[in-house]
Structure 1
Amino acid sequence: MLLSLHVKNFAIIDEVEVYFKDHLNILTGETGAGKSILIDSINVALGGKVTKDIIRKNCEYALVELVFVTNRPEVLKLLEENDLPTEDGQILISRKIMTNGRSICKLNGENVTAQLLKDIATLLLDIHGQHEHQSLLYKHKHLEMIDRFAKEEAAVHKEKVQELYHSYQKLKEEYDNAEIDEDKRLRELSFLEYEMNEIEEAKLVMDEDISLQAEYKKLSNANLINENLSGAYKQTSDSSDSAADLVSRAVKFLSKISEYDLQLNGFLTQLIDIEGLLNDFNRDVSEYLSDSGDGLEGFIEVENRLNLINHLKSKYGNSIGEIFNYYKNLDSKKKKYEAYDEYLQDLRQKIDVTEQKLRKECEILSSIRRKTSSQLAEKMKAALIDLNFLDVNFEIEIKQLNNYTVNGLDEAEFMISTNPGEPIRPLAKIASGGELSRIMLAIKSVMAKKDDIQTLIFDEIDVGISGRTAQKVSEKLGLLAGEHQILCITHLPQIAAMADTHFIIEKNTDGISTNTNIRQLDETEVVQELARILGGAKITDNVLTNALEMKELANHTKKYR
């Protein structure tokens, strides 16, 4: 469940912190007070989109923090898979949005991606926004709801269908692209052989271009190398006052006196070592100079080899390794074109086998969906009756498509009749805005018994309803709150009266800036807030009496949940 929400510098909110409770948390307030901004902040904290005006004016950042507590295995597994710490099932989610558009997402103190926040959000809570009921107008959403109701029974086969569908489509695409006439096949084969011969004749060796580049660098600077190396050789050996000659003389001087002092003997040893190193150096340099020659022939050979390799790189890959991989692909294509009929036959067989597996999984999934849709329709009808659809008829129609999709062969559509004598018709064609809101609440209530999601958020579920229908909606929310934590923004007194915990959202201004606050109401304040919603601008004693009676009736109703 959601324990707390902390919001700072968000839209018209300076800073608020609210602690939510179990069961039904109701949020009310005047229009424009900022009720939906709180829901928006929760969406943002859980990886939702960020708009430019989200940061409060003259502030450098906006911050939203959520604290959850959960024991759901799926949540704990997701945390473990991402090496995220958790203690006693408590989860701290924070998102800081900067003025440059960047944001920092953290989960239990560790930096995470916005996508991970979205993934964990789907396991922690379900948010029903002001316009979400409009999704009921789209048939593909109906199939999603059926699969969600079926849970693991459908999920396993749906995953197999999706995997087989992608394999099937890939094989079909390969087959469609592979069909060519005989002349084109021979041309392709000839071109493949040309490219393979070009690579074979080069007789490439792995990484030889690296050693050739080093050799090319050396040979292209041969004159400079010889000039400076000869100069060094002359200074160390090839003159009467060279370093080698001078060191040799110094050795002779020290040899005459070394026996008189042990320290002098050490000097002599060091100098003899230096003499030896100089002799070795001069010998090696002499051999290098004698072997180098003019280097022109070797330079041309290296340059030509590098040109050849670079030419092949420009055609077949950026490295010799990539050229080798390209050659392997050529060889594979060549074998395919040489035995083209066998290749097509094998590909066709793979398509047939994959399609058979796909159709089998689709049929299993369809069977599960038909069984599930029957159960869902029955529960939906009962839930709709509870929401004051007294003569409702609700069915789910599942049709089989002529072609495979990533979701199988099924298309589902919710069908409804809300009045006696009316034929059952597609939901999208007959439901009004208020009816859609109630239908969505019915779906949420039915799904909630299947889902393990503890927290449900409803942002103005009361759109387009009033009177007895509003009372029925409030009772349904009260029952649902017996099993789930619910946060609900409402304008209706019938729903607000059902609150287990009631918060008011208020907007204050000093003429310069505006700020939104939220606080929990005590019992007396709850009745006064209900009276405000009931009576509008003027609250009379009769209105207060009605508000008190409404709260007492709601408390009585909740005893039976």
Structure 2
Amino acid sequence: MLKELRIENLAIIEKLYLEFESSLVVLTGETGAGKSIILDGINLLIGERSTQEMIRDGADKLLAEGIFEINNRQIEYLKELDIEVDDNEIIVQRIIERAGKGKAFVNGRRVPLNLLKNIMGTLVDLVGQHTHQALLEKEYHLKLLDRFLTEEEKKIKERLEETVNKYNSLNKELKLLKDEEKDLREKKDLYEYQINEIDSLNLKLGEDEELEEEYKKLFNSGKIKENLEKSLMLLREDEINALSIIGMAKRNLEYISKYGKEYEDILENLNKVYYELEDVVYYIGDQNDNIENNDFRLNEIVDRLDKINNLKKKYNMELEEILNYKEEIEEKLSKIDYNSFELTNLENSIQEIKKKYLKYAKDLSGIRKKIAQNIEEMLINEFKDLKMEMAKFKVFFDENNDISKDGIDSIEFMITTNIGQDYKPLNKIVSGGEISRIMLSLKSIFSKVDSIPILIFDEIDTGVGGETVRKVAEKLKNIGENVQVICITHSPNIAAKAKQQFYIEKKIIDKKTITIVKELKGKERLNEIARMLAGDNITDAVINHASELLKEG
């Protein structure tokens, strides 16, 4: 509900602050007093476009601000938009500057106008203006119809939605598999060629490194042999002397080793040197004997390395990567037959899911058609109450061939107001008075399930009187039991049914025309109802009549 409304510098409104109650609230006053300007302020809050001409003469900017109480569904929607909500309330502001652009804020966060309109579209229906009525939008009709589903019937819709989710998931999986198979079949010849090319070299992991090492040895065998022989000659020439010297040192250390642990350690290290020197001489000799100048093997290695390096260059990979790549494409090729099997299974599963979907969708469609029939019958009585006996309402069903969470139904609310005329969409209704009464009838039925909590009727009593206006008043009061209804009216019958009444009047103060708004209570409200009944010719009978209306309200 709209709890508070503040307007500054809008047309002839200088400053205005209103606190609204729930149920039915009416705004009354003389024609031209500024009631429609208050609606202009609300229009700004629901995302209507502004002009600088709206700013009061002599002011630099205008402000419209509203505090709205919202429900859990709206809170969740705002959280999705990263707008924080405290105490189930939001503060909406529009600021229009004469020297700049307009700005819109929701809970202090600046938002673009189209987002503001989306947010407020879940809160307010301004009846009498096509652009603000969700009921006129075809996209909204199916959602509204489904709000009449019982808890048991909602379970059918939930199962349908689960089936659609499964269907979409399987279709996504199927598409990926088909894309993969198509890609594999397109690359099959290439992959087979690459596998044969890699296999033809009979590669081994680390082979290139081993060949590089062997190549270096063979290519430099002459230098290696020459240096090994020199080293061996030097060591063998001095080996006898070296071993003799080490042997003498060992005997000396053996003699003193019994006098301290540190001498034992020196002796142990010297023994290691003695045996290691022997090993080094033996190893160098062995390596020298094994060195050979093998040009044939060298050419073999060069040829093998060339083939490996060319392959590495071609694939832009190291040897290990090439071997891994070969395993990958072998695995991919092995999937071709497997994928065909999986594709068949998936397609069968999708067909089974589709059968389930169609069953749930047809069951739900049958339920919806019964609900639609009940609504059509109820609206015939509503139209009769409002002296629109010729009006007929119809829920038109069309079958949707797509797999949808809404099922197979595409629906639209249609109406005809005269005998012999074709049914037309609600948003094709032109007459303002006609649409107000039609929307009142619809809201009488839908307000119990509609999630939009604020309805604003602009002079719904225009062109009606007598028993009809009394019916209008009764319906507005009944709707107010479910949602907040704000109504601008000239009808005393409607005003008397209200829980809260504001009086709007125009005054000239300091040579400036301003609009004053006052909440009426007690005798002030009685006098305003009497004025609405008889104008300035207020008698005791008129006062009594006004009193009776208020008692009935």
TM-score (structure 2 length as normaliser):
0.57
Match of 2:28 in 1: 28
Alpha-carbon distance in 2 for matches of 1:121, 1:407:
24
Alpha-carbon distance in 2 for matches of 1:157, 1:401:
18
Residue 20 of structure 1, CA deviation: 1.9
Deviations for 1:238-260, whole angstroms, at most 9, x for unmatched residues?
A: xxxxxxxxxxxxxxxxxxxxxxx
Match of 2:537 in 1: 541
Is 1:94 paired with 2:89?
Answer: no
Alpha-carbon distance in 1 for matches of 2:390, 2:109:
53
Do the aligned residues in 2 keep the contact of 1:29 with 1:504 (CA within 8 Å)? yes
Do the aligned residues in 2 keep the contact of 1:8 with 1:63 (CA within 8 Å)? yes
Alpha-carbon distance in 1 for matches of 2:374, 2:121:
24
Residue 188 of structure 1, CA deviation: 6.1
> Equivalences for 1:25-424 in 2 at 5 Å?
25-45=25-45, 48-53=47-52, 56=55, 59=59, 61-68=61-68, 72=71, 74=73, 84=84, 86=86, 89=87, 91-97=89-95, 99=97, 100-101=100-101, 103=103, 105-107=105-107, 111=109, 121=120, 126-131=125-130, 141-150=140-149, 341-342=340-341, 345=344, 348-349=347-348, 351-389=350-388, 396-404=395-403, 407-414=406-413
Deviations for 1:164-218, whole angstroms, at most 9, x for unmatched residues?
A: 66886797799899999x999865666899999xxxxxxxxxxxxxxxxxxxxxx
Alpha-carbon distance in 2 for matches of 1:394, 1:516:
41
Match of 2:546 in 1: 551
Deviations for 1:119-141, whole angstroms, at most 9, x for unmatched residues?
A: 77566555434336987676555
Q: What residue ranges of structure 1 are gaps of 5+ in the alignment?
A: 197-307, 313-328
Is 1:481 paired with 2:480?
Answer: yes
Residue 26 of structure 1, CA deviation: 0.9
Q: What residue ranges of structure 2 are gaps of 5+ in the alignment?
A: 196-312, 318-327
Match of 1:426 in 2: 423
Do the aligned residues in 2 keep the contact of 1:153 with 1:368 (CA within 8 Å)? no
Match of 1:495 in 2: 494
Alpha-carbon distance change, 426 to 80 in structure 1, aligned in 2, over 3 angstroms: closer
Match of 2:18 in 1: 18
> Equivalences for 1:427-506 in 2 at 5 Å?
428=425, 433=431, 434-451=433-450, 455-506=454-505
Residue 472 of structure 1, CA deviation: 1.5
Residue 147 of structure 1, CA deviation: 2.0
Alpha-carbon distance in 1 for matches of 2:446, 2:529:
30
Residue 437 of structure 1, CA deviation: 2.4
Do the aligned residues in 1 keep the contact of 2:415 with 2:424 (CA within 8 Å)? yes
Q: What is the total number of aligned residue pairs between the two structures?
A: 419
Match of 2:246 in 1: none
Alpha-carbon distance in 1 for matches of 2:531, 2:423:
40
Alpha-carbon distance in 2 for matches of 1:183, 1:119:
43
Match of 1:521 in 2: 520
Alpha-carbon distance in 2 for matches of 1:152, 1:443:
23
Match of 1:295 in 2: none
Do the aligned residues in 1 keep the contact of 2:380 with 2:393 (CA within 8 Å)? yes
Residue 463 of structure 1, CA deviation: 4.9
Alpha-carbon distance in 2 for matches of 1:413, 1:393:
14
Do the aligned residues in 2 keep the contact of 1:133 with 1:436 (CA within 8 Å)? no
Do the aligned residues in 2 keep the contact of 1:25 with 1:499 (CA within 8 Å)? yes
Match of 2:302 in 1: none
Alpha-carbon distance in 1 for matches of 2:92, 2:484:
21
Alpha-carbon distance in 2 for matches of 1:489, 1:121:
20
Do the aligned residues in 2 keep the contact of 1:380 with 1:442 (CA within 8 Å)? yes
Alpha-carbon distance change, 454 to 185 in structure 1, aligned in 2, over 3 angstroms: closer
Do the aligned residues in 2 keep the contact of 1:133 with 1:440 (CA within 8 Å)? no
Residue 96 of structure 1, CA deviation: 4.4
Alpha-carbon distance change, 156 to 551 in structure 1, aligned in 2, over 3 angstroms: farther
Alpha-carbon distance change, 14 to 417 in structure 1, aligned in 2, over 3 angstroms: closer
Alpha-carbon distance in 2 for matches of 1:333, 1:7:
69
Residue 155 of structure 1, CA deviation: 6.3
Residue 477 of structure 1, CA deviation: 1.3
Alpha-carbon distance change, 194 to 367 in structure 1, aligned in 2, over 3 angstroms: farther
Match of 1:258 in 2: none
Alpha-carbon distance in 1 for matches of 2:480, 2:102:
37
Alpha-carbon distance in 2 for matches of 1:518, 1:192:
83
Instruction: Tell me which structure has the larger Cα radius of gyration.
Output: 2
Residue 6 of structure 1, CA deviation: 1.2
RMSD: 5.3
Alpha-carbon distance change, 457 to 134 in structure 1, aligned in 2, over 3 angstroms: closer
Alpha-carbon distance in 2 for matches of 1:45, 1:183:
54
Residue 444 of structure 1, CA deviation: 1.1
Match of 2:2 in 1: 2
Alpha-carbon distance in 1 for matches of 2:160, 2:61:
45
The AA in structure 2 aligned to 1:541 is N
Do the aligned residues in 2 keep the contact of 1:415 with 1:424 (CA within 8 Å)? no
Alpha-carbon distance in 2 for matches of 1:331, 1:466:
86
Alpha-carbon distance in 1 for matches of 2:508, 2:409:
55
Residue 340 of structure 1, CA deviation: 7.0
Alpha-carbon distance in 2 for matches of 1:350, 1:331:
29
Residue 491 of structure 1, CA deviation: 3.8
Alpha-carbon distance in 2 for matches of 1:386, 1:380:
10
Residue 153 of structure 1, CA deviation: 6.3
Q: 1:479 aligns to what SS in structure 2?
A: helix
Paired-residue identity, %: 32
Do the aligned residues in 2 keep the contact of 1:462 with 1:470 (CA within 8 Å)? yes
Do the aligned residues in 1 keep the contact of 2:50 with 2:96 (CA within 8 Å)? no
Do the aligned residues in 2 keep the contact of 1:134 with 1:436 (CA within 8 Å)? no
Alpha-carbon distance change, 170 to 460 in structure 1, aligned in 2, over 3 angstroms: farther
TM-score (structure 1 length as normaliser):
0.56
Q: 1:8 aligns to what SS in structure 2?
A: strand
Do the aligned residues in 2 keep the contact of 1:415 with 1:425 (CA within 8 Å)? no
Q: 1:149 aligns to what SS in structure 2?
A: coil
Match of 1:214 in 2: none
Deviations for 1:462-491, whole angstroms, at most 9, x for unmatched residues?
A: 355344322211121133334543211124
Alpha-carbon distance change, 332 to 556 in structure 1, aligned in 2, over 3 angstroms: farther
Residue 152 of structure 1, CA deviation: 6.5
The AA in structure 2 aligned to 1:458 is F
Do the aligned residues in 2 keep the contact of 1:10 with 1:54 (CA within 8 Å)? no
Alpha-carbon distance in 1 for matches of 2:13, 2:190:
69
Alpha-carbon distance in 1 for matches of 2:421, 2:532:
37
Alpha-carbon distance in 2 for matches of 1:169, 1:2:
41
Residue 439 of structure 1, CA deviation: 2.5
Deviations for 1:338-380, whole angstroms, at most 9, x for unmatched residues?
A: 8775575456345424433432342243233134224433433
Q: 2:148 aligns to what SS in structure 1?
A: helix
Residue 19 of structure 1, CA deviation: 1.7
